[in-house]
Structure 1
Amino acid sequence: MELKWSFLLLGLLVVLTGKAKSCGPGFLIEGKGCKDENECEDNPNLCGDHSICHNTNGSYYCTCQPGFQSTKPNFTATDPHCKDINECTDNNPCPKNSTCKNSMGSYTCECLPGFKLSTETAACRDIDECDSEEYKCGKHGSCSNLAGSYHCKCNPGYSNYGNNQTKCTELKCDRANVTPKQAAMGDLLNLFKSSCQSLSHQKQQHDSGKTLLKHLMNVGGQVVSSGNVSDSSTLSTFLGTMEDTLRLIVPQLNEPLTKVNNDNSEACMAVKKDLTRPKGSMIMNAEGVHLNISWKTAAGEEYPGFAYVALVSYNKSLNYPTTPVLEDPKAESRNASYQLNSRVVTVLVSNTQTEHLPEPVTLTFKHLQNGAVSEQLNYSCVYWDETRDGGAWSQKGCMTAEFNSTHAVCTWSHLSSFAVLMALYPVKDTFELVLITRIGLTLSLVCLFVCILTFCLCRSIKGTRTTIHLHLCLSLFIADFIFLFFISSTTNKVGCAVVAGLLHFFFLSAFCWMLLEGVQLYRMVVLVFHTTLRSLYLYAVGYGVPLAIVIISAIAYPSGYGTERHCWLSLEEDFIWSFFAPVCIVIILNSFFFVITVWKLAAKFSSLNPDYCRLKKLRGFVVTAVAQLCVLGGMWVFGCFLFQEQGTVVMLYLFTLLNSLQGALIFIMHCLMSKAIREEYSKLCGGVCTQQKKRYSEFSTNQSSNSQKPLRSAPSTGESQI
């Protein structure tokens, strides 16, 4: 009970004491009284950023720091915070020839380019750039100081290409005069000289750099499309003039990147104009090529105040001479033939010292003809060397080269005009091929000689087809004989050309007689009432057509007869088509006649013998038909596949084997498979045997005289049976 009353008295005492000590807002209880609460000290960020807190008796207020302002002069934390004052906009406090840069709560003054701050007057005064550096405008230019800048004036023969604060460089307007062969490039050289002289005499340029560049590409495109750049000296002049003219025009471009193209060429230009040397890499693309170069390489050691990279890609229609690359010993030993397999490109930079670059340049070319590297195909990264024998493709300076079937990646230590050459190596004459050719041709010559004697002496087989067979064998015999003994006689160029011409004529003559064979076979089977052809028509087609083709070919391209390896037709200028085109025509026509003839014969045999489709008889017919197709020139189809990349070796062996044995096939088809000729052979052999026996016997002279009678047989058409 006493404890309960004690708690009640204690609570009442506390209540009475609290009422007595209560303080107002902004004050704290201290002892028996109240004291002011310092809100700014207790909460440092009470007023927000960029502000100052001021404590008052029982309260506080906020003000902004210098350089900041608020909507109210004095505010509390519930009002908007302080905002920066832009001194440069409200009231520019900076001196003349300077710029004001605002900062948070303050500002700074910076002198304009060409001025510097004076510590004495606190003002920006002009810098005399002409005195700050010797040869500010180069050794051949005069410097004039301007307020905050300077101006360079170049001596005659030198120019800064309209960039009046860059050093003057030499123009070199005195290019060699045009030769009669180079007359097509007159407009290009005139453009170079007019542009160079205009810059040399500080004349005002009315055309912009881009306009001049378009004009240059159009004039260069006309030269490309004319097809007159076909020799080394003309190509050197063209590429050199293009480079020199580009050096005049590209520095006048104002855009960082410029592209101009037409049907014959494409140009891509990157320009940087700054007092500081550019850094980093530059990647550029044009038609068929990708360039990777550094700005350090482009600017060079003597930086004139600007740098540029130019990439020009020329159309493949320009007939560039493909001089052999002397650095390729493999090509020299194997007599490789070359052709361009990429667009020719020119890489040009403002740096004039490009013989030994500080960093390599990488060019990625796209092949014009896709193909993987093999024993018969190889690629070379080359550049056009003007100093070598009037101009030639060279591999010198190529650091690395990587090739696949579609692209070539070339890394160079210098700059020039570049390309990718494709080297085609001739297939080596292996021992097996030579052996097959010699044995096959020897056998064919023997068989053809027997065929010629047979067709001339056997009277019982006289007829139109026999005449065709005779002249076919004569043409093939002469052609095979010349081929076997004179095909490699390349020491005498005139004699080699004669051999090639004779081979061209007699092989074409053989094909014309093959065509007549097909026509006659068609007329006998299909047009049974018209089985003969007039002899005049036979000789006109068999010998007249080949003679006309050879004469026209010799007049059109006389140097096409004879090559370095064989006395045959050259592959240059597509001269081989003077033989290959007639051969294709004969094969196509004979194939048509063959199909119609076989179809007609199969129909006739089937009607005569319903069981003809039996396997054994059908097999014999097929074998006979295939042999006849070979006689008609069908085996020359394998020669078409020699131009393909896959299966070349297999087709080469098949082509060599079948064609070297064509004479043997003719002997089998038209002699051994002919019943009438077999009978004549039997009589001849029987007569010879009888004569041998009679020399050692006592037969009568009458019987002996009877054995000397000429060969005769029953009337026969003498035509071979298919």
Structure 2
Amino acid sequence: MELKWTLLLLGLVLPSCSGCAIGFRFDKKKCVDEDECESFVNLCGDHSHCVNTEGSYYCICHEGFRSRTVNFTVTTGECKDINECIENESVCSVHSMCENTIGSFKCRCPSGYQITPGGNGTCEDVNECESSVCGAHSTCINTSGSFSCSCSSGFYKHEKNSNCTDIDECADVADRCGSHAICNNTQGSYSCICHRGYSNYGNNQSKCIEMNCEQFKPENETHHTPEKLKSLLSLLMKSCESLNDSDAEHFTGEHLLENLCMSSDELLSEGNLVDSETLSQFLGAMENSMRLIGPQLKEPVTRFETHNTHTEVAVRRGEAPPTGSVIVSTDSAHFNTSWKTVVGKSYPGFAFAALVSYKDLNTSRDSFNKISQISQEEGNIIYQLNSRVVTAIISNPETKHLSDPVTLVFKHVQERAESKGMKYSCVYWNEAQGAWSGRGCVRAWSNSTHTVCSCSHLSSFAVLMALYPIKDTFALVLITRVGLVLSLICLLLCILTFRFCRFIQGTRNSIHLHLSLCLFIADLVFLCGISSTYNKGACAFVAGLLHFFFLAAFCWMLLEGVQLYRMVVLVFQSTLKHLYLYAVGYGAPLVIVAISAIVNWEGYGTDRHCWLSLDNYFILSFFVPVCIIIIINSIFFIITVWKLAKKFSSLNPDLSKLRKIRSFTVTAVAQLCVLGGMWVFGFFLFQEEGTQVMVYLFTILSCLQGVLMFVLHCLLSKTVRGEYYKLFSRIWPQKWKAEYSTNQSSNSQQPLQGNDSTGESQI
């Protein structure tokens, strides 16, 4: 029997007496499958299970075990355990550890981690700092799976017991608070108690520096200091003194900065900074105030803006001096330097850089006098500020000679590029001289909108615009003087002729007389006093005379145009009343000059000529009336010329067409000059380019206006020529008698006649 089962296990096929094959048994007269897995216990061995098949069976290893063959039928102990931790490294989640077991594995969290509550078996970090794992005066720092303890600032870890022990900063660093303070050690910190007269501006761990509260007193009692400035200085002095008194009321840096900006805003709005001495006091007070306020500001960058001032302050604190560059800016300027320059040779524990810009700070003309005196060799240069004035301040007290220059970028108030007649320069306010100076400042580059300055010292800065006068050439000066002299001679002859020649008396003659008189006085004053700029009062008087007499001349030109229109177009026989003539000819100019002087008397006289200033559009008090008169006279001239063209054709049809055109053209051009037409060329002088031709045309025509009047109204007048012949014949009887008779006979043959009462033949 045992042999049978042994052979059966070996898989040998032996016939049975019943006739069934191995793996089958005889049941109820037939062969059925034998379930070996049920018949034999532990047929496949450990860690496996048996699977019955038709006439046979096979064995399969349990999960977590593996055999050398896929299926086996003999119990040989082939099912070996699988090490999942080695074969699959990611079988466990992050921060968990894999542990192999028989037929399986398990994941567990290492120290410092825990199973996520309600999670999927993942491990999460345990925050040990939630419990008091570190001692006093220390700080717990949680890390992944662990934690660390570090001592708080002002403490160190003791070597024996690892407890945090207080550091005695006063003993640790010699002279920590400086020689003008007492170092007081506290638990985890220290403080510097300043001596009398010294302060660390509320920074209790900074060195104490000397205080100078006397700088906020007015320079002297006799000097007129604006009340608002006095009030501001009083507040700053009180704040300065309170820094050295622990019991006094202290103002914050932000509160002081607000008061400073509001007070300066009111000073600039009220226009109290009218002279150089007051301006120097104001700018000095602003600089000293920022030195007092800057160290007391809490934020790294503080900005404050009002209507007229804009301030930005950058502050750094710490045991070590700050490094790198620092830029502070306002809406109109940028201030760029390095923290090394800001700190200087001594670092008390804090450093600051500040920039203050002023919107409506206009300096007087006296502040440019020093520059003007230096530049006299170059000509009478006009200076104007083309940027806002800014004050740059740093904590370094030694700013007169900086080792590294600072950079200031200014935005121009008026966009204008440099040219031959205009240059930009960088200047600072010299308080000792009370004027702008360019010493120590160099212009790096400039365009139409910005100028970059490099300065080796700090103060209040601005961009100065130098307007160089156009130098008159010798030819232009010669033409002007010769032309004016000729014009004066001719105008004098016109005045004598119109006054004493009884045959030409009438309305037009009166107009010509007063026009010649006004032009004579204006040209004489112009020739003698236009360059009298050395005396401001005399220059203003000359400018006023020129303003009045040139306006009067134009008013008489207007009356000439009106009278000409009445004679030629309307053919009126009645004349204008002399009262109306004087009211327009002298009254209107007097009113204009009086109003101009009342509104802006400083507009009379410039640095270059004794004429009207271009500032604040004061020149319009002359320009506008002249434009109106020229426009009106132009209309009268066009109508008159059109009327004359018809009369030239109808009165003398025998003249050739060429002679008609020539006579008409000469008469029209001459009359146009008399009516002020040459001043049209003067309007083009305001152009920056292409004015050279216009300058010469305007100079020649305006200077020879008297000559043209003499030729037109005296030499071309038959009646006046007759009077001249009579006068000269009395002086030289033999010479002029024959010539006069010849001219009379030749003139009698000319068919052109006219009515002297209307004067149309003499036009």
Give the TM-score range, shorter chain.
Answer: 0.7 to 0.9
| Number of the residue aligned with 1:419 | 462
- Of 267, 272, 277 in structure 2, the residue corresponding to residue 233 of structure 1 is 277
1:331-350 correspondence to structure 2 within 5 Å: 332-350=377-395
Matched, 1:116 2:156: yes
| Number of the residue aligned with 2:351 | 307
SS in 2 for 1:411: strand
**Inter-CA distance 208–362: structure 2 relative to 1 (3 Å threshold):** same
| Number of the residue aligned with 2:21 | none
Bigger Rg, which one? 2
Q: Distance in 2 between matches of 1:604 and 1:498?
A: 43
Matched, 1:585 2:625: yes
In the TM superposition, residue 457 of structure 1 has moved relative to its aligned partner by 4.1
Matched, 1:87 2:128: yes
Given that residues 314 and 353 in structure 2 are in contact (C-alpha distance below 8 angstroms), is that contact kept between their aligned partners in structure 1?
yes
Given that residues 304 and 310 in structure 2 are in contact (C-alpha distance below 8 angstroms), is that contact kept between their aligned partners in structure 1?
yes
Which stretch of the first structure deviates more once superposed, 670-679 or 650-659?
670-679
- Give the counterpart letter for 1:663 in structure 2: G
- Of 27, 50, 64 in structure 2, the residue corresponding to residue 26 of structure 1 is 64
SS in 2 for 1:174: helix
Given that residues 515 and 586 in structure 1 are in contact (C-alpha distance below 8 angstroms), is that contact kept between their aligned partners in structure 2?
no
SS in 1 for 2:414: coil
Which stretch of the first structure deviates more once superposed, 60-69 or 472-481?
472-481
Which stretch of the first structure deviates more once superposed, 243-252 or 98-107?
243-252
**Inter-CA distance 371–649: structure 2 relative to 1 (3 Å threshold):** farther
Q: Distance in 1 between matches of 2:183 and 2:255?
A: 30
- Of 150, 153, 157 in structure 1, the residue corresponding to residue 193 of structure 2 is 153
- Give the counterpart letter for 2:112 in structure 1: G
Give the TM-score normalised by the residue count of structure 2.
0.77
Over residues 223-252 of structure 1, what are the superposed CA-to-partner deviations in whole Å (9 max), with x where a residue is unaligned?
212323232222111001011112222322
Aligned residues: 684
| Number of the residue aligned with 1:262 | 306
Which stretch of the first structure deviates more once superposed, 191-200 or 440-449?
440-449
Q: Distance in 1 between matches of 2:82 and 2:705?
A: 125
Over residues 465-524 of structure 1, what are the superposed CA-to-partner deviations in whole Å (9 max), with x where a residue is unaligned?
212212322332344345446655778889878766765665454344334434544555
| Number of the residue aligned with 1:244 | 288
- Give the counterpart letter for 2:358 in structure 1: Y
Matched, 1:659 2:702: yes
| Number of the residue aligned with 1:201 | 245
| Number of the residue aligned with 2:107 | 62
Q: Distance in 2 between matches of 1:329 and 1:490?
A: 17
Given that residues 52 and 62 in structure 1 are in contact (C-alpha distance below 8 angstroms), is that contact kept between their aligned partners in structure 2?
yes
Runs of 5+ consecutive residues of structure 1 not aligned to the other structure: 1-10, 700-712
**Inter-CA distance 393–491: structure 2 relative to 1 (3 Å threshold):** closer
Q: Distance in 2 between matches of 1:205 and 1:530?
A: 92
Higher relative contact order (CA 8 A, sep 6+): 1
- Of 86, 103, 108 in structure 2, the residue corresponding to residue 41 of structure 1 is 86
Q: Distance in 2 between matches of 1:462 and 1:302?
A: 92
| Number of the residue aligned with 1:7 | none
Given that residues 341 and 402 in structure 2 are in contact (C-alpha distance below 8 angstroms), is that contact kept between their aligned partners in structure 1?
yes
SS in 2 for 1:379: strand
Which stretch of the first structure deviates more once superposed, 541-550 or 594-603?
541-550
Q: Distance in 1 between matches of 2:64 and 2:190?
A: 68
Which stretch of the first structure deviates more once superposed, 415-424 or 169-178?
169-178
| Number of the residue aligned with 2:405 | 360
Over residues 583-614 of structure 1, what are the superposed CA-to-partner deviations in whole Å (9 max), with x where a residue is unaligned?
642441353254256437747977998999x9
Q: Distance in 2 between matches of 1:371 and 1:24?
A: 95
| Number of the residue aligned with 1:166 | 206
SS in 2 for 1:426: coil
| Number of the residue aligned with 1:323 | 368
Given that residues 130 and 145 in structure 1 are in contact (C-alpha distance below 8 angstroms), is that contact kept between their aligned partners in structure 2?
yes
**Inter-CA distance 320–161: structure 2 relative to 1 (3 Å threshold):** farther
- Of 324, 331, 336 in structure 2, the residue corresponding to residue 287 of structure 1 is 331
Q: Distance in 2 between matches of 1:320 and 1:559?
A: 12
Q: What percentage of aligned pairs have identical amino acids?
A: 51
Which stretch of the first structure deviates more once superposed, 116-125 or 399-408?
399-408
Give the TM-score normalised by the residue count of structure 1.
0.81
**Inter-CA distance 228–339: structure 2 relative to 1 (3 Å threshold):** same
Q: Distance in 2 between matches of 1:592 and 1:681?
A: 34
Given that residues 571 and 758 in structure 2 are in contact (C-alpha distance below 8 angstroms), is that contact kept between their aligned partners in structure 1?
no
Q: Distance in 2 between matches of 1:306 and 1:369?
A: 39
SS in 2 for 1:137: coil
**Inter-CA distance 677–198: structure 2 relative to 1 (3 Å threshold):** same
SS in 1 for 2:698: helix
Matched, 1:393 2:433: no
**Inter-CA distance 718–22: structure 2 relative to 1 (3 Å threshold):** closer
Q: Distance in 1 between matches of 2:98 and 2:541?
A: 114
- Give the counterpart letter for 1:130 in structure 2: C
In the TM superposition, residue 681 of structure 1 has moved relative to its aligned partner by 5.8
**Inter-CA distance 336–607: structure 2 relative to 1 (3 Å threshold):** closer
Given that residues 466 and 718 in structure 1 are in contact (C-alpha distance below 8 angstroms), is that contact kept between their aligned partners in structure 2?
no
- Of 174, 191, 213 in structure 2, the residue corresponding to residue 134 of structure 1 is 174
Matched, 1:215 2:259: yes
Q: Distance in 2 between matches of 1:694 and 1:597?
A: 39
In the TM superposition, residue 372 of structure 1 has moved relative to its aligned partner by 1.8
Over residues 149-205 of structure 1, what are the superposed CA-to-partner deviations in whole Å (9 max), with x where a residue is unaligned?
112222233222222222222221112534433234322322222221222323554
- Of 151, 162, 165 in structure 2, the residue corresponding to residue 125 of structure 1 is 165
| Number of the residue aligned with 2:419 | 374
Provide the alpha-carbon RMSD of the alignment: 4.3
Q: Distance in 2 between matches of 1:675 and 1:327?
A: 57
- Give the counterpart letter for 1:51 in structure 2: S
Q: Distance in 2 between matches of 1:624 and 1:693?
A: 28
Given that residues 461 and 717 in structure 1 are in contact (C-alpha distance below 8 angstroms), is that contact kept between their aligned partners in structure 2?
no
Q: Distance in 2 between matches of 1:362 and 1:615?
A: 73
| Number of the residue aligned with 2:317 | 273
Over residues 328-385 of structure 1, what are the superposed CA-to-partner deviations in whole Å (9 max), with x where a residue is unaligned?
9666422211111111011112222223445433222222222221121111111112
Q: Distance in 1 between matches of 2:117 and 2:557?
A: 114
Over residues 384-436 of structure 1, what are the superposed CA-to-partner deviations in whole Å (9 max), with x where a residue is unaligned?
1223x2x2212222244312122212122322111011111111021221122
SS in 1 for 2:351: strand
1:684-695 correspondence to structure 2 within 5 Å: 691-692=734-735
Matched, 1:410 2:453: yes
SS in 1 for 2:709: helix
| Number of the residue aligned with 2:35 | none
In the TM superposition, residue 677 of structure 1 has moved relative to its aligned partner by 3.8
Q: Distance in 2 between matches of 1:439 and 1:102?
A: 99
1:575-654 correspondence to structure 2 within 5 Å: 577=619, 581-582=621-622, 584-596=624-636, 598-599=638-639, 602=642, 624-625=667-668, 627-654=670-697
Given that residues 490 and 562 in structure 1 are in contact (C-alpha distance below 8 angstroms), is that contact kept between their aligned partners in structure 2?
yes
1:533-612 correspondence to structure 2 within 5 Å: 533-535=576-578, 538=581, 542=585, 568-569=610-611, 571=613, 577=619, 581-582=621-622, 584-596=624-636, 598-599=638-639, 602=642
In the TM superposition, residue 656 of structure 1 has moved relative to its aligned partner by 1.6
- Give the counterpart letter for 1:70 in structure 2: I
Over residues 277-329 of structure 1, what are the superposed CA-to-partner deviations in whole Å (9 max), with x where a residue is unaligned?
33333333323223333333333342333332222110135435532565996
SS in 2 for 1:200: coil
| Number of the residue aligned with 2:140 | 100
Q: Distance in 1 between matches of 2:156 and 2:481?
A: 94
**Inter-CA distance 645–228: structure 2 relative to 1 (3 Å threshold):** farther
**Inter-CA distance 172–495: structure 2 relative to 1 (3 Å threshold):** closer
